[in-house]
Amino acid sequence: QAIVDAHRSGRQVQVVVDRVQAAGNYSQVNNLKAAGVPVKFGNMSPGNARAIMHNKYTLVDGVRLETGSYNYTENATSNNAENQFYTDETNIVNRYVKDFQKLFAEGLDQ
Protein backbone atom coordinates (compact mmCIF):
# COMPACT_ATOMS: atom_id res chain seq x y z
CA GLN A 1 0.00 0.00 0.00
CA ALA A 2 2.91 2.37 0.70
CA ILE A 3 4.04 2.05 -2.91
CA VAL A 4 0.55 2.88 -4.19
CA ASP A 5 0.28 5.80 -1.78
CA ALA A 6 3.64 7.18 -2.90
CA HIS A 7 2.58 6.88 -6.53
CA ARG A 8 -0.75 8.59 -5.88
CA SER A 9 1.00 11.44 -4.06
CA GLY A 10 2.94 12.19 -7.26
CA ARG A 11 6.25 10.54 -6.42
CA GLN A 12 7.95 8.66 -9.23
CA VAL A 13 7.60 4.96 -8.47
CA GLN A 14 8.80 2.11 -10.69
CA VAL A 15 8.89 -1.60 -9.92
CA VAL A 16 10.61 -4.59 -11.54
CA VAL A 17 9.39 -8.04 -10.49
CA ASP A 18 9.91 -11.70 -11.27
CA ARG A 19 7.16 -13.02 -13.55
CA VAL A 20 6.70 -16.32 -11.69
CA GLN A 21 6.54 -14.68 -8.26
CA ALA A 22 4.16 -12.02 -9.61
CA ALA A 23 1.66 -14.78 -10.41
CA GLY A 24 1.74 -16.14 -6.84
CA ASN A 25 -1.28 -16.25 -4.56
CA TYR A 26 -0.14 -13.36 -2.36
CA SER A 27 1.38 -11.17 -5.05
CA GLN A 28 0.43 -7.50 -5.00
CA VAL A 29 1.52 -6.89 -8.60
CA ASN A 30 -2.04 -6.71 -9.96
CA ASN A 31 -2.92 -4.15 -7.27
CA LEU A 32 0.12 -2.06 -8.17
CA LYS A 33 -0.73 -2.19 -11.87
CA ALA A 34 -4.40 -1.37 -11.20
CA ALA A 35 -3.27 1.71 -9.28
CA GLY A 36 -1.19 2.83 -12.26
CA VAL A 37 2.23 2.03 -10.79
CA PRO A 38 4.68 1.30 -13.63
CA VAL A 39 5.53 -2.40 -13.21
CA LYS A 40 7.81 -4.40 -15.48
CA PHE A 41 8.80 -8.02 -15.45
CA GLY A 42 12.49 -8.83 -15.36
CA ASN A 43 13.66 -9.83 -18.82
CA MET A 44 14.74 -13.40 -18.28
CA SER A 45 14.45 -14.30 -21.97
CA PRO A 46 16.73 -16.84 -23.69
CA GLY A 47 20.12 -15.28 -24.17
CA ASN A 48 19.83 -13.34 -20.93
CA ALA A 49 22.35 -14.68 -18.45
CA ARG A 50 19.92 -14.64 -15.52
CA ALA A 51 17.27 -17.24 -14.80
CA ILE A 52 15.08 -15.35 -12.30
CA MET A 53 14.63 -11.81 -11.07
CA HIS A 54 16.07 -12.33 -7.59
CA ASN A 55 17.06 -8.75 -6.74
CA LYS A 56 15.68 -7.46 -3.47
CA TYR A 57 16.34 -3.79 -3.08
CA THR A 58 14.54 -0.50 -2.79
CA LEU A 59 15.85 2.87 -3.89
CA VAL A 60 14.34 6.01 -2.40
CA ASP A 61 14.66 9.23 -4.38
CA GLY A 62 17.93 7.96 -5.87
CA VAL A 63 19.75 8.76 -2.63
CA ARG A 64 18.89 5.93 -0.22
CA LEU A 65 19.11 2.18 -0.58
CA GLU A 66 17.69 -0.82 1.27
CA THR A 67 18.98 -4.22 0.24
CA GLY A 68 19.59 -7.68 1.67
CA SER A 69 18.06 -11.12 1.81
CA TYR A 70 14.63 -9.88 2.90
CA ASN A 71 11.83 -11.01 0.59
CA TYR A 72 8.93 -8.56 0.67
CA THR A 73 6.51 -11.13 2.09
CA GLU A 74 4.56 -11.69 5.28
CA ASN A 75 6.42 -14.98 5.75
CA ALA A 76 9.77 -13.19 5.64
CA THR A 77 8.50 -10.63 8.12
CA SER A 78 7.03 -13.12 10.56
CA ASN A 79 9.04 -16.33 10.25
CA ASN A 80 12.38 -16.02 8.47
CA ALA A 81 15.85 -15.00 9.57
CA GLU A 82 16.50 -12.14 7.14
CA ASN A 83 18.95 -9.28 6.83
CA GLN A 84 18.62 -5.76 5.53
CA PHE A 85 21.23 -3.11 4.87
CA TYR A 86 20.45 0.59 4.60
CA THR A 87 22.79 3.23 3.20
CA ASP A 88 22.92 6.67 1.69
CA GLU A 89 26.57 6.22 0.62
CA THR A 90 26.54 7.90 -2.79
CA ASN A 91 28.91 5.56 -4.62
CA ILE A 92 26.95 2.50 -3.49
CA VAL A 93 23.52 3.98 -4.17
CA ASN A 94 24.58 5.16 -7.63
CA ARG A 95 25.60 1.62 -8.61
CA TYR A 96 22.14 0.37 -7.66
CA VAL A 97 20.46 3.28 -9.48
CA LYS A 98 22.36 2.36 -12.64
CA ASP A 99 21.43 -1.32 -12.22
CA PHE A 100 17.75 -0.50 -11.67
CA GLN A 101 17.61 1.82 -14.69
CA LYS A 102 18.99 -1.00 -16.84
CA LEU A 103 16.59 -3.58 -15.39
CA PHE A 104 13.60 -1.27 -15.90
CA ALA A 105 14.65 -0.28 -19.44
CA GLU A 106 15.06 -3.94 -20.41
CA GLY A 107 11.98 -5.07 -18.50
CA LEU A 108 8.91 -6.49 -20.18
CA ASP A 109 5.43 -5.03 -19.87
CA GLN A 110 3.69 -8.42 -20.12
- First vs last C-alpha separation in the chain: 22
CA distances from residue 29 to 62, 81, 90 in whole angstroms, order as listed: 22, 25, 30
Residue among 18, 40, 61, 99 flagged as catalytic:
61
Give yes or no for a contact between 7 and 37, defined as CB atoms under 8 angstroms apart: yes
- Selecting among 7, 33, 40, 54, the annotated active-site residue is 54
Q: Is 61 a catalytic residue?
A: yes
Q: Give catalytic status of residue 54 as yes or no.
A: yes
98 is catalytic: no
Catalytic residues: 54, 56, 61
